[in-house]
A and B are shown apart, each in its own frame.
Chain A
Amino acid sequence: SAVISQKPSRDICQRGTSLTIQCQVDSQVTMMFWYRQQPGQSLTLIATANQGSEATYESGFVIDKFPISRPNLTFSTLTVSNMSPEDSSIYLCSVVEYSYNEQFFGPGTRLTVL
């Protein structure tokens, strides 16, 4: 399967600031997704990152708060804007490779907002 990396692996941020998380894949993939996993909870899909166009957001998530870019088939960024302590979570990117249906996850970014 594709090798997925995320940067940063963790960060501690102040309220009101923004953080951009990067997801890099070592091969071209068809789909890229961004998830949030709050402490002790399951995975919640934030959005589908679309190559060359605006991301498709799930109910409860908006572009102003979570802008996403996907300039090519191997890279995507998620920005968490104007952060509050409620945004403290693990953020995960996942990918689907061409000719497959299975999602594979990156190592995640652990975000703490003070």
Chain B
Amino acid sequence: QKEVEQNSGPLSVPEGAIASLNCTYSDRGSQSFFWYRQYSGKSPELIMFIYSNGDKEDGRFTAQLNKASQYVSLLIRDSQPSDSATYLCAVNKGGTYKYNFGTGTRLKVLA
């Protein structure tokens, strides 16, 4: 079982819709959770992080964490074609700065 799992996609959503990206992790001791956006040919860009159960909102982005079920999700409201990218989920166990990355979900927002 991979430590961090994501559906590779592509996930296609129409412009203006909500895109929902999911990530599950295997280590119950995981403490910090991160979402990165990576455009083709570019390096990953941190867009959200969440440390506590519940929701965290930042503009059009909402991160949701459920430690009991071991999943973290990213919602993108009012999706735009410019949101088309690969979204990487990263998990940190605590006691170290090292992350485990998922393989990423490719999102396509259709104009």
Interface residues of A (CB under 8 A from B): 1, 30-31, 33, 41-43, 45, 48, 90, 92, 96, 101-108
Contacts and interface: CB of A to CB of B under 8 A. Distances in A.
B25 interface: no
28 contacts: A33-B97, A33-B98, A41-B103, A42-B88, A42-B103, A42-B104, A43-B44, A43-B88, A43-B101, A45-B98, A45-B99, A48-B97, A92-B43, A92-B44, A96-B97, A101-B32, A101-B49, A101-B92, A101-B97, A103-B46, A103-B97, A103-B99, A104-B46, A105-B36, A105-B43, A105-B45, A106-B43, A107-B42
B43 A102 contact: no
Contacts of B34: 102-103
A33 B97 CA distance: 10
* 3 tightest A-B CB contacts, nearest first: A105-B43, A42-B103, A108-B43
Interface in B28-42: 32, 34, 36, 42
Interface residues of B, number: 19
Interface of B: 32, 34, 36, 42-46, 49, 88, 90, 92, 97-99, 101-104
A42 B4 CA distance: 11
B98 A105 contact: no
Nearest to A92: B43
Contacts of A108: 42-43
Contact of B43 (A1, A48, A107): A107
A101 B32 CA distance: 9
